[in-house]
Amino acid sequence: MGIRFVLMVNKQGQTRLAQYYEYLTLEERRALEGEIVRKCLARTEQQCSFVEHRNYKIIYRRYASLFFLVGVDNDENELAILEFIHLLVETMDKHFGNVCELDIMFHLEKAHFILEEMVMNGCIIETSKSNILTPIQLMEKAS
Partner 1 sequence: MNPFSSGTRLRDMIRAIRTCKTAAEERAVVRKECAAIRAAVSDNDQEYRHRNLAKLMFIHMLGYPTHFGQMECLKLIASSGFPEKRIGYLGLMLLLDERQEVLMLVTNSLKQDLNHSNQYIVGLALCALGNICSAEMARDLAPEVERLLQSRDPNIKKKAALCSIRIIRKVPDLSENFMSPAAALLKEKHHGVLITGVQLCTDLCKASPEALEYLRKNCTEGSVRILKDISNSSYAPEYDISGIADPFLHIRVLKLMRMLGQGDADASDSINDILAQVATKIESNKNAGNAILYECVETIMGIEATSGLRILAINILGRFLSNRDNNIRYVALNMLMRSVVVDSQAMQRHRATILECVKDSDASIRKRALELVCLLVNDTNVKPLTKELIDYLEVSEEEFKGDLTEKICSIVERFSTEKLWYIDQMLKILSEAGSHVKDEVWHSLIVVISNAADLQGYTVRSLYKALQTSSSQIGLARVALWCIGEYGEMLVNGACMLAAEEPVTVTESDAVDIVEVALKCHSSDITTRAMSLIALLKLSSRFPPTSERITELIMQNKGNLELELQQRSIEFSNIILKHKNIKTSLVERMPVLDESTYMGRKEVSSQDVPAVKTSKTAPSEALLNLPNGVKKPPAVYMGDLLDLSSDDVPATKPSTNDFLQDLLGDLAVPVSSGAPLSGGSDILMDLLSIGSPIQNDSSLSNSVSTGAVNSSAVSSLASLSSLTSPSISVSPEASIVDPLRGMDQIKRQPPSTAPIVDLMDGLSNHVVSVAGSEKLDFLPITAFENNSLKTVFSFTKFPGRPQVTQIKATFTNKSLNSYTDFIFQAAVPKVH
- Give the nearer residue to partner 1 in terms of CB position, either 64 or 140: 140
Nearest CA among 14, 20, 23, 19 for reference residue 41: 14
Determine, following the binding rule CB under 8 A, whether residue 143 of this chain makes contact with partner 1. Answer: yes
> Cα 58 to the chain's mean position, in Å?
11
Give the integer Cα–Cα distance in Å for 43 and 49.
9
Determine, following the binding rule CB under 8 A, whether residue 78 of this chain makes contact with partner 1. Answer: yes
- Give the nearer residue to partner 1 in terms of CB position, either 64 or 137: 137
Q: Binders of partner 1 among 8-67, rule CB under 8 A?
A: 15-19, 21, 23, 25-26, 29-30, 33, 46-52
Nearest approach, Cβ of residue 86 and partner 1 (Å):
8
Q: Are 121 and 114 in contact (CB under 8 A)?
A: no
Q: Binders of partner 1 among 82-111, rule CB under 8 A?
A: 82-84, 87, 105-106, 108-109
Chain positions contacting partner 1, by CB under 8 A: 1, 15-19, 21, 23, 25-26, 29-30, 33, 46-52, 77-80, 82-84, 87, 105-106, 108-109, 112-113, 116, 120-121, 123-131, 135, 138-139, 142-143
